[in-house]
Amino acid sequence: MKIKHLLFAVLSMLSVAAFATDNAEVEKSTNMGSEIDVYIEYEVVDNVTLFLGEEFYLSNFLTPQAKLFDASYTSVGVNYKPHPRVSLIGAYEFQYLSNNDLRHRLKLMVTPNIKLGDFALSLRERFQMTYNMTDQSYDWLLRTRLRLDYDIPSAPLYAYIYAEMHNPLEANPACWYDMFGYGAGLDWAIDDHNILGIYYEFSHSIDSYYHLLGVAYVLGFWK
């Protein structure tokens, strides 16, 4: 498969998202926020890595009266690689929102990938169940993400672009999708144990647009 075919696959997914946006009949609000992620990873045995993460979300920049803090997500999980081209992840996440909403989330992910030279293409399927303690409701979702990574030659830098669909798993959903998201990022491998990244994501749901700027740091202990 040629690189142009990989790029075509990614752009095709982005086109579907853009089509859904342009055909929405509801006037959408625009929001902008930021995210700070900190992760610790430890490879206990070959191909099995435990991780602990904290994600902080800051409020909408376009709403001056909004509080600075929007939400925090605390997660713990395990990443198992039965094959160099397949990753299996199971995780639990506790969510605290600024309106005092408390949520529990379970996530299961499978990510196969192929590598072509300095490029890698992956397709992640993420099943998640979220329980909202405030109204005692459940939300079931399937998130499909197509991602293209580029290992920049002669530099400890990794660039990527991606597109993602959020599909509700309810019996009779109001819409066939909950959200589309697409973005790009750059990771810097500072040394064997430290990775620093920046990224941007644009997403849209049925009734809103959202821009997100993020910074991520990973402290890793890998074999």
Convert the pLDDT of each residue in 97-125 to its tens digit. Answer: 988 899 999 999 999 999 999 999 999 99
Give pLDDT, residue 67.
75
Give pLDDT, residue 223.
86
Q: Are residues 55 and 72 in contact, defined by beta-carbon separation less than 8 angstroms?
A: yes
Split at pLDDT 50, 70, 90, the class of 19 is very low
pLDDT at 2 over 60: no
**12-16, Cβ contacts within 8 angstroms, sequence gap of 24 or more:** 13/146, 13/163, 13/165, 13/182, 14/163, 14/182, 16/165, 16/180
Give pLDDT, residue 29.
86
Of the chain, the percentage scoring pLDDT greater than 90 comes to: 71
Number of H helices, E strands in the chain: 1, 11
pLDDT at 8 over 60: no
36-82 pLDDT per residue, tens: 999 999 999 999 999 999 999 997 766 666 678 889 999 999 999 99
**What mean pLDDT is predicted for residues 116-141?**
95
Domain tally, the chain? 1
Residue 70: name the closest of 62, 58, 60, 80 by CA: 58
Give pLDDT, residue 49.
98
Domain that holds residue 114: 3-221
The CATH number that applies at residue 51 is 2.40.160.40
Encoding tokens for residue 158? 């990794």
Secondary structure letter of residue 25 according to DSSP: -
Q: Model's pTM, two decimal places?
A: 0.86
pLDDT at 160 over 50: yes
165-216 pLDDT per residue, tens: 999 998 777 777 889 999 999 999 999 999 999 999 999 988 889 999 999 9
Give pLDDT, residue 170.
81
Q: Which residues pair with 113 in a beta bridge?
A: 122
Give pLDDT, residue 36.
96
Give pLDDT, residue 149.
97
Give pLDDT, residue 155.
95
